[in-house]
Structure 1
Amino acid sequence: MTTTFDKSERMIWAGQGAAYAKSFAKLCAYPVPQLLDATVVGPGTRLLDVGTGPGTVAAAACARGATVTAVDAEPTMVELAVQAAPAADVRVAALPELPFADGEFDAVVANFVLNHVGRPGVALAELRRVVRPGGWVALTTWASPPAPGQALIGRAIQAGGAVRPQHLPAGLAPEDDFPRDESGLTELMYATGLREAVCETLRWDHHASADEWWSGPANGVAFGGQMVRSQTPQIRADIKRHFDLFSSEFADEDGTLTLPHAALLARGRR
C-alpha cells in the first residue's frame, strides 16, 4: 500500500533526473561495486536493480555480464538509465509492489532506496519476494546520525531559518521506522525473512566544488532541495549564506570540498 510518505517522494523527485545526475549521483555511485560484490553478480546473473536512478548500478552490472532488469518510479530517471545501460531492460515501476513473479531474479539490489519509502519493512519484503530461494538481496541507506559532509546542507537549511512546508512529510510513522545503524538494519533484514543478514558501515570522502554541491538543493533535488525552494527569497538567501560559511570547513586549498559521508550496506539471503 502506498503511503503519504511515498506519494510525497514521487512529487519531490518528479522531473528531477537531470538535476540529480549533475549533483548527487556521483556521491551515490560510491557503493556500487560493493553492492554487486555482495550479491555475487557476474556473467549470466539475473539481476534486478530497484530504484536505478540514472542507471549507475545497471550499467556496472551489465559490464560484469549480468542480465539486468532495472526499475525506477521517476520517468526522467528511467530515460537516463536507458542511455546509461542500453543492454538492460529498464522500465518505470516502484515499491512497494513490483511487477515481477516470485523468485524471478538471482539477485536484487537497491542503492539508497530504502530511505525513500514509507514502509521500509514492506519494501524489503517485496525485494525478498522477487529473488529466488538462495539468492541475495543487498541494499544501501544513509546512516544516522549523518556524517559531517552529509549534514552540511541540512545545517545550512536549519541555520537559515527554513520552515517545513505542509507538502513535505515530517518523517515515517514510528511503527514503520527502524534504527539507521548496523544493528537496526540487520534486524530489519531478519524481520522480513532474509537469512545470513550482515551489515557494515561504509565511510568515504566525496569531492565536489561548492557550486556543484549547492546545485542539488538550488534545483530542488531531494527533500533538502524542496525545503530550499519552498522558502521565501530572504530565507533562501540566508540558507545560501550559511551554506557558503559552513562549506569553508570542508574546502581544500583549491576550493574543492572534501565531504565525509557514511552509509549502511546490508545483504541477506532468501
Structure 2
Amino acid sequence: MIDTTEAFDAAEREMWDGRAEAYAGSFARLCAYPVPALLDAAGVTAGSHVLDVGTGTGTAAVAALERGARVAAVDAEAGMVAAARGRGVDARVAVLPELPYEDGEFDAVVANFVVNHVGRPRAALAELRRVLRPGGRLAVTLWGARRGAGQELLGRAVQAAQAVPAAGLPRLDPAEDFPRTPQGVAGLLTEAGFTGVRAEETAWDHRATRDEWWSGAAGGVATIGRVVTAQTPETIARIRSAYDRLADELTDTDGRLRLPHVAVLASGTA
C-alpha cells in the first residue's frame, strides 16, 4: 500500500508530466518575478557555482548565467529539463530528496517554488544543505498562506461554476507539513541546519492577458489545472464563463489583467 508521502510525490510527478510547454506559455512568467531577489538572497555573483533545483524551463538558471555564475540545474520532469537545455542550461533529471552531486559542491543553491512540491520538505532541505559548501547560501521561494486576489481568480471561477473536486490531488502528510508563513518557513530552514535564516513576504502584480492566464489552467498546469481539466466540457465552459466575468474586477485600462500575488522568500547559510 502506497503511503501518503509516496502518493503526494507520485501525484506531483503526474501533475507536471508533459506540461513544460503549457507552463512556459502561462505561469512561467509569473514565477520569474522573484528570481532577481532569489539570486541576491543566495549571494549569486560572477564566478559563483550555483545549483538551480526544480529549474522548470530554466528561468533562474539563465538569470544566474547572465550574472556570470557557473550553473547546474535539475528538474524532476524531463520536458522541463529539455526546455532548460534549449536555453543553454546544463540541466539534468533528478528528484528531491536525492541529488547527483558531491557534498559541498556548490556556493549557492536556489529553489524557486519547489519546496511546496515535494512530499518530504525537511529531507529535501537537508539534501540542499548537503550539496552546499560550508558558508554557502540557500534561497527558496514558495507560495504562502496569504494569497493575493490574482491567486484566487481561477479558484473562484471553479467554485462559481460548481465544479466537482478533482480526484487524486496531492495531499501532504500532516507530519511533513509546516506553517506557510515567513516564520514557518524560517523555522523549517533552521530545523534543517541553516543559520542566519531570513524570511519575508514578497508581493507583486502579475500582468497577463485573459487568454494567457486561462491557458495554464486549461493546459493542466499545477493543481488548478488538474481541477479544471478533470471536468466535463460543459463544466469547463461554465468555469471559463465565470472566469471572464470575475476577471473584469482585475482588468486594467489596457485590457490586460493585473493579478496581485504574494509569496515567501527565505534564505540561510549552510
- Shorter-chain TM band: over 0.9
Q: What secondary structure does 1:121 align onto?
A: helix
Q: What is the letter of the counterpart of residue 243 of structure 1?
A: Y
Quote the residue 1:68 is aligned against. Answer: 71
Query: 1:145: how far off?
Result: 2.8
Quote the residue 1:175 is aligned against. Answer: 175
Query: 1:101: how far off?
Result: 1.4
1:15-26 matches, cutoff 5 A:
15-26=18-29
Quote the residue 1:239 is aligned against. Answer: 239
Aligned mates of 2:71, 2:165 — CA distance in 1: 39
Query: 1:64: how far off?
Result: 0.8
Q: What secondary structure does 2:86 align onto?
A: helix
Q: Does the CA contact (< 8 Å) of 2:52 and 2:73 recur in 1?
A: yes
TM-score, structure 1 normalization: 0.96
Aligned mates of 1:209, 1:115 — CA distance in 2: 26
Q: What secondary structure does 1:176 align onto?
A: coil
1:115-194 matches, cutoff 5 A:
115-169=116-170, 171-194=171-194
Query: 1:163: how far off?
Result: 2.1
Q: What secondary structure does 1:3 align onto?
A: helix
Q: What is the letter of the counterpart of residue 155 of structure 2?
A: G
Query: 1:18: how far off?
Result: 0.8
Aligned mates of 1:154, 1:165 — CA distance in 2: 13
Query: 1:137: how far off?
Result: 0.6
Quote the residue 2:7 is aligned against. Answer: 4
Query: 1:189: how far off?
Result: 0.7
Q: What is the letter of the counterpart of residue 244 of structure 2?
A: D
Deviations 1:1-30 (A, max 9, x none): 962111111101111111100001001000
Q: What is the letter of the counterpart of residue 128 of structure 1?
A: R
Structure 1: segments with no counterpart, 5+ residues: none
Query: 1:226: how far off?
Result: 1.0
Quote the residue 1:93 is aligned against. Answer: 94
Query: 1:254: how far off?
Result: 2.7
Identity %: 55
Q: What is the letter of the counterpart of residue 19 of structure 1?
A: A
Aligned mates of 1:253, 1:21 — CA distance in 2: 26
2:32 paired with 1:29: yes
TM-score, structure 2 normalization: 0.96
Aligned mates of 1:20, 1:73 — CA distance in 2: 14
Q: What is the letter of the counterpart of residue 185 of structure 1?
A: V
Deviations 1:81-121 (A, max 9, x none): 0122x1x4211112111111111111100000011111211
User: Number of matched residues?
Assistant: 267
Q: Does the CA contact (< 8 Å) of 2:146 and 2:262 recur in 1?
A: no
